Structure 1
Amino acid sequence: MRKILNYYRPVRMVVLVNIIAFALLFLYKEPYDRNTIYWGLCVIGIIYLSHFLLRWKACGDEYIFLIVAMLVSMGNIMIYRLDKQLGIKQIIWFAIGIILFFLSYYMYRKFRFWSRWMYLYLGTSLVLFLLTLLLGDSIQGATNWIVIKGHSFQPSEPIKILFIFFLACYYKYPEQLKSFQITLGDRNFIIGSKSILAATAYTYMLFLVLQREWGSALLFFLIYFTLLYVFEENIKVLLANGIIALLGSAFGYLFVYHIKVRVDIWLNPWADIAGKGFQIAQSLFAIGSGGFFGKGIGLGSPQFIPEVQTDFIFSAICEEMGIFGGVAVVLLCFILAYRGFKIALAVESIFDKVVALGITVMFGFQTFIIIGGVIKLIPLTGITLPFISYGGSSLTTSFIALGILQAVSKKVYEMEDETIAQEQ
């Protein structure tokens, strides 16, 4: 009995946080809204049921879901506090995300031919990119949304997973990208698979640049370069990609007005604090005014930050939950990355290894890019904070990726069980 109670203590901590937070959301403002309690119970029920199913079916790593449950809880609490209607929508997306989490876990476990579908991943990505460019709506200056009957969808979110699967296919079966020869004059040039891989990866980034999705383009490059660093033995390939990145960054700053503005604001937001620097300045004021322990849920003023529910949700957390609340978010993301790296190192299949590492790197760099932007560590880019920011596309895609990572962890546990059985 004591062992069971000790094991369930982490999930009880997550539940306790939700109980306290939703009680505060219920009490901080009159007239009291009983729906707040009902929605809080929904969140608690989803977390408990999901944790029970993972334990009952022995679905691999027992902690990555608990880590994410705490991150989602902090996001739900803050979004509900800022806007009840958006908070309710986010809780509904959370429930849908959990369904997709288990569905992606089951499908990845059920089917064994994921490594043979390289061109399907490429084709699907191309179709989504073209649909976005042709039919997409421009929101906040970026043409990265498809709106269908009032519901918006961001294709670049699922494309991240397709991109990781494409890279995993290459490292599993490099021959799927066949080399070819071109003749220029009297000379013949062989275009190898590594060159084709690089060209394809940069094509993904080019589509994102055309959509003015600078943050996502940076994220795709970091995923690609990290996997190159881990799996590529030729240092010249890394140097060539590094030079391309430096040249692209320099070109963007010199010739793309939007990037130049972002860099200038990063260097000195106070020069135009009422205009272009307003957003980052308000973010810094919010983080600073929260102190170590925060003003308390509902007692701050994060609503003065534009796009606070999405890009600047971390600033709102720091203002009302304090620097300690912000540090908790960062540490939870670090622990999630640690568990992901551990899974990637332990699994034997190269395809599973690349998928696990790619998903972990995606979560890690996405967190670094957005938090680094809102605290003025790096230039600001408009991407979401995984599992915390408002947005159905981001949340559901993150849960699909988490379900795949959970499935890979199950393979690791099965390998360990087989090893123990052989030793006995």
Structure 2
Amino acid sequence: MNEGLINKAPRKLLFLFEILSLSLIFLYSWEGIQTETYVIAVGLVLLIYFSNYLLGRISKGDNYIFLIVCMLVSIGIIMIYRISPDLGLKQLMWLTFGIAMFFAAYFAVRYISFWGRLTPIYLLASYALFALTLIMGSRTHGAINWITISGVSVQPAEITKIVLVFLLAAFYGGDEKYRKIKNGEVYLMIVVYSFIGLLFLQRDLGTALIFFGVFTGLQYIYSQDRRLIWANLGLATVGGIAGYLIFDHVRVRVTTWLNPWPHINDKGYQITQSLFAISEGGFFGTGLGRGNPSFIPLSYNDFIFSAISEEMGIFTGIGIIMLFMLLVYRGFKIALSQENQFFRIVALGISMIFGIQSFIIIGGVLKVIPLTGLTLPFVSYGGTSVVTSFIALGILQGASEKRGRGGIGNE
């Protein structure tokens, strides 16, 4: 059966959800409705529907991962517009560019066959991005992770996450000459921990946690020396203790995680307002436009999950968690069905990024783990995050198509 026909019913459900949600936005802002509202409504519906239709025509891979992400994007942009119409319009622009980059990444993976031979380039690119951040970066919320180019802020670490996956895939499933180097896995571990060390210098500990999680997961699956896994866990423990002792903002986050209530008016304000918002929403939410997401600092970014849970309800929050679980599940399924070793590892690594990052940020706003300052992929406001997440998804889409058993590219 044609994949486009298979995806027709989910596309219709997605279309229905967008129409109903946007209708609530129209009702909320009926008295002072602006042109931006029409642009958001028409632009979002057309962009999502047309991109799904186009993907169903050109790809024979797993097109459901894009549908899952479109649902997450729709929830996110509707909530962002509700909080700030200007940010909602900007997010629609970033979303358009992100989807264009999704197709560009998909075609690059589909038609270029030498990705597994570029280990030195991945290594140099990673160090270059770190150097660029340390030299040109500005400090935001305690971390040096943003650089501004021609008025546009970019977060190089978002790109480096994808490069890391390709580096690990090239080592474990690409060119064999690197695996045959004596103590090659030790050298790889040194390289990865040098990345994590540079992230410590930037004080970007949330991204460092993602690097560690992806590396540990792939190392556990593909490493031949199990002692290195224990060494990795030991180093991570030492690094976590060192981060707590060295960085003031880490100690603050741990303190507010353990007991934020004595600090409700200062350093515990953000997490307590997050918990208040989620409890205020109940199961079905206060309704779009009837909550107070502005009470939470950065409600459109780090804490968008709390804002959504307040106005759309805990059931919607549970739905977001399930969508991420489905995305990671289908990513793992792609990896298991992929015969090519390189692309199998790429699919695993990207799925791990989505899973780890979503767990870290949702766990943080629910006070399950300390806050880290990451964005919720595809849902939170942010240009670099949206674009790089779609690039990663395009790579996963390309990896979902069957390839030969060879370890490099399509070979």
Report the TM-score, using the length of structure 2 for normalisation.
0.95
Retained in 2: the 8 A contact 1:39–1:88?
Answer: yes
Equivalent residue, structure 1, for 2:17: 17
Distance in 1, Cα, partners of 2:372 & 2:23: 34
The change in CA–CA distance for 1:4 and 1:135 in structure 2 (over 3 A counts) is: closer
In the TM superposition, residue 234 of structure 1 has moved relative to its aligned partner by: 2.6
The letter of the residue matching 2:178 is Q
Retained in 1: the 8 A contact 2:273–2:296?
Answer: yes
The alignment-based identity, stated in percent, is 49
Equivalent residue, structure 2, for 1:198: 189
Runs of at least 5 residues in structure 1 that lack an aligned partner in the other structure: 180-190, 416-424
Distance in 2, Cα, partners of 1:121 & 1:152: 23
CA deviation string 1:114-165 (max 9, x = no partner): 0010111111111111111011111222111111232101100111100000
Q: Report SS of the residue matched to 1:379.
A: coil
Distance in 2, Cα, partners of 1:396 & 1:132: 18
The letter of the residue matching 1:329 is I
Equivalent residue, structure 1, for 2:171: 170
CA deviation string 1:282-338 (max 9, x = no partner): 000001100000000111001111111111000001000000010010000000011
1:215 and 2:216 correspond: no
Retained in 2: the 8 A contact 1:25–1:297?
Answer: yes
Q: Say which of 315, 336, 341 aligns to 1:345.
A: 336
Q: Report SS of the residue matched to 2:265.
A: coil
Which stretch of structure 1 is more off in the superposition, 80-89 or 25-34?
A: 25-34
In the TM superposition, residue 174 of structure 1 has moved relative to its aligned partner by: 4.7
Equivalent residue, structure 2, for 1:273: 264
In the TM superposition, residue 343 of structure 1 has moved relative to its aligned partner by: 0.3
In the TM superposition, residue 230 of structure 1 has moved relative to its aligned partner by: 1.3
Equivalent residue, structure 1, for 2:236: 245
Which stretch of structure 1 is more off in the superposition, 44-53 or 337-346?
A: 44-53
CA deviation string 1:169-190 (max 9, x = no partner): 10023533674xxxxxxxxxxx
Retained in 2: the 8 A contact 1:61–1:410?
Answer: yes
Distance in 2, Cα, partners of 1:110 & 1:7: 24
CA deviation string 1:367-386 (max 9, x = no partner): 00000000000010011100
The change in CA–CA distance for 1:99 and 1:387 in structure 2 (over 3 A counts) is: same
CA deviation string 1:173-220 (max 9, x = no partner): 3533674xxxxxxxxxxx711110000001111111111101000011
Q: Report SS of the residue matched to 1:372.
A: helix
The letter of the residue matching 1:103 is A
**Greater relative contact order (Cα 8 A, min sep 6): structure 1 or 2?**
2
The letter of the residue matching 2:100 is I
1:148 and 2:128 correspond: no
Equivalent residue, structure 2, for 1:92: 93
Equivalent residue, structure 2, for 1:36: 37
Retained in 2: the 8 A contact 1:59–1:406?
Answer: no
The change in CA–CA distance for 1:23 and 1:400 in structure 2 (over 3 A counts) is: same
In the TM superposition, residue 38 of structure 1 has moved relative to its aligned partner by: 2.9
Equivalent residue, structure 2, for 1:288: 279
Equivalent residue, structure 1, for 2:323: 332
Runs of at least 5 residues in structure 2 that lack an aligned partner in the other structure: 406-411
CA deviation string 1:84-116 (max 9, x = no partner): 111001011111011100010001111100001
The letter of the residue matching 2:389 is S
Distance in 2, Cα, partners of 1:152 & 1:251: 30
Distance in 1, Cα, partners of 2:401 & 2:326: 18
Report the TM-score, using the length of structure 1 for normalisation.
0.92
Retained in 2: the 8 A contact 1:105–1:407?
Answer: yes
The letter of the residue matching 1:401 is A
The letter of the residue matching 2:103 is F
The letter of the residue matching 1:152 is S
The letter of the residue matching 1:124 is A
Equivalent residue, structure 1, for 2:386: 395
The letter of the residue matching 1:176 is Y
Retained in 1: the 8 A contact 2:4–2:56?
Answer: no
Distance in 2, Cα, partners of 1:7 & 1:271: 51
Q: CA RMSD in A?
A: 1.8
Retained in 1: the 8 A contact 2:94–2:387?
Answer: yes
Distance in 2, Cα, partners of 1:276 & 1:288: 20
Which stretch of structure 1 is more off in the superposition, 226-235 or 370-379?
A: 226-235
The change in CA–CA distance for 1:97 and 1:210 in structure 2 (over 3 A counts) is: same
Equivalent residue, structure 1, for 2:80: 79
1:366 and 2:366 correspond: no
In the TM superposition, residue 348 of structure 1 has moved relative to its aligned partner by: 1.1
Distance in 2, Cα, partners of 1:317 & 1:395: 18
